[in-house]
Amino acid sequence: MTIAALVGNPRAASRTRAVAEELVRQLAARLGLEAEATIDLADHGAALFTVPEPTIDALTDRVAATEILVVASPTYKASYTGLLKAFLDRYPTRGLAGVTAIPLFTIGSPAHALAVEVTLRPLLVELGASVPTSGIAFPVGEFSDRAEILASWIEQESAVLDRLLTR
C-alpha cells in the first residue's frame, strides 16, 4: 500500500508540508507502507488553472491512485486554501473513491480547531474518499514538537489505522 501527502499551502517548503511529511513518515513506518513523494501544490500554482494541463492531470491521476492520502492545508479564513480547492475541483463526484484520506490543518489559533472537520472532511467525502479517522488540527506554535504530537494522534487513532491494512 502507498501513502503520500498532498499539500495546499501557497508557500513552498512550508511548515504545513513538514507536518504532513512527518505524519506520512510515521504512518509509513507503523503500517509498513510505501511513502511516495509529496505533492506540494505551491510548485504548480498557475498550472492549476489551465485545463487540460498534462502535469496537473498526471498529479490528479497519482492522487486518485494513492491508497492513503494526507491532505494538508494551513487554515485560511477558517477553511482550506484556494490552491487546494482549485486542485480538488478537478475531480468529479466520487473521483477519489478508493482513497483513504486523512485531513490535516495547520492552525494558528485554537478557535480554528474544528475547521478541519467542518470544511475539509465534507469535501473529501463528497469526492468519494473514505475519512475514517478524526482530522488533525495541528497548532503551528507547537511546530518543534510535531513528531511527538503526531505520534500521540497516531496512538489515539491506532485502532482505526491498524484496520486499514486488513481491507
The tens digit of pLDDT for each residue in 49-65 reads 999 999 999 999 999 99
Q: Which domains does the chain have, with CATH numbers?
A: 2-160 (3.40.50.360)
**Predicted structure pTM score:** 0.97
Enumerate residue ranges in the chain where pLDDT < 50: none
Q: Which residues of 16-53 are buried (b: 16+ CB within 10 A; e: fewer)?
A: bbbbbbbbbebbbeeeebebbebbbbbebeeebeeeeb
